[in-house]
Structure 1
Amino acid sequence: MIIDTLRNAERYYSLHRGFKTAFEYLNSTHLNALENGVIELGDGIRVIVSNDAGRSKEAAAQTFECHNQNIDIQVTIHGPETMGWKPRADCQNVESPYNAEKDYMFYSDEPDTFFSLNNGQFVIFFPEDVHMPMLGEGAIKKLVVKIPV
């Protein structure tokens, strides 16, 4: 997992072939103006825009998730948004087995760590990062960039 601000995104271009495409899009787009939906960037990279109500820890616990086929870059546009995290290797309680079609697996473990992102900050979740997004009060506008592993 990596946490940083969009202004430092260039530092991460070399970590994965899709990061440059993703971060250049994020840094050249007026993110507040984006409507809910999915934007295809090519090479399997897609951006999911959402503007939803923040959830309680109990509600968010239903989606303590990880992915096998994609890396997530999650960007808070309007928040703050709190998230939970735990290393996948330390998770013991599978809630829903891996769904290859939707690329997710859910755990019922408790996160080890909680952190908050403010506007313009991002987190990168790799397949080994189990994460619980959308904790908070009020509306949270965010982007999730899905980058094929």
Structure 2
Amino acid sequence: MAIWGTLDLISQQLASNERFEAALAYLREALAPGSAVHGRIMAIAEGVTERVDLADGVFALEQVYTGKPAGEGRFEAHDQYVDLQAVLSGEEAMEVTARAGLAVTEDLLADKDVVFLADRAAVSRWVVAPGEIAVFFPGDAHKPSLAAGAAPVLAHKTVVKVRL
């Protein structure tokens, strides 16, 4: 089940799991203004995504983009990785729903561990502010990178992928 909140809350939920130690340590730096990791992400040009390997089975995708209208997003899910999506600046909306029962529109699980899924009318919409993290597990379909308001804003974000 997806969870959403501050680093402290997320740490409490995931701390007992060794797989998340490297991810949480990285997120502490990424969300700390003045840290090297935070500065590196804030310096990324719009439209660029940089991969950073953190530990065996854990990596981050540091990215900068302008949020898109909900109609341009796609639900996605993963089988092998848990996503920890942290917003550093700007804000974005993320839609989330159960993966079960959604029709597959594109299956890239074998090559990229991502499957794209059809929309569903009844979903939860989270507005994720700077310093907040959304965590998505394999049973969660999520549509990230959406504009939170009428005017899309530039978002600096990192997505930590933790292999199950």
Counterpart position of 2:93: 82
In the TM superposition, 1:16-95 aligns within 5 A as: 16-29=17-30, 30=35, 31-33=37-39, 34=41, 35=44, 36-60=49-73, 63-91=74-102, 93-95=103-105
> Which deviations, in whole Å up to 9, do the C-alpha atoms of 1:44-69 show, x marking residues without a partner?
20010000111001111xx2100001
CA contact (8 A) 2:51 2:61 kept: yes
Secondary structure at 2:23's aligned position in 1? helix
- What TM-score results when the alignment is normalised by the length of structure 1? 0.90
Measured in 1, the distance between the counterparts of 2:11 and 2:66 equals: 31
Of Structure 1 and Structure 2, the greater strand share is in 1
> Which deviations, in whole Å up to 9, do the C-alpha atoms of 1:106-138 show, x marking residues without a partner?
111225111111000001100000000011112
CA contact (8 A) 2:89 2:129 kept: yes
Count of aligned pairs = 145
The letter of the residue matching 2:115 is M
Secondary structure at 1:22's aligned position in 2? helix
Of the three residues 109, 115, 132, the one matched with 1:105 is 115
For the aligned residue pairs, the C-alpha RMSD in angstroms reads 1.5
Instruction: Give me the identity figure in percent.
Output: 28
Residue 98 of structure 1: CA displacement? 4.2
Measured in 1, the distance between the counterparts of 2:29 and 2:119 equals: 38
- What TM-score results when the alignment is normalised by the length of structure 2? 0.82
Structure 2 residue runs without a partner (length 5+): none
Structure 1 residue runs without a partner (length 5+): none
In the TM superposition, structure 1's runs of 4+ consecutive aligned residues that sit over 2 Å from their partners are 7-10, 28-32
Counterpart position of 1:147: 162
The letter of the residue matching 1:13 is A
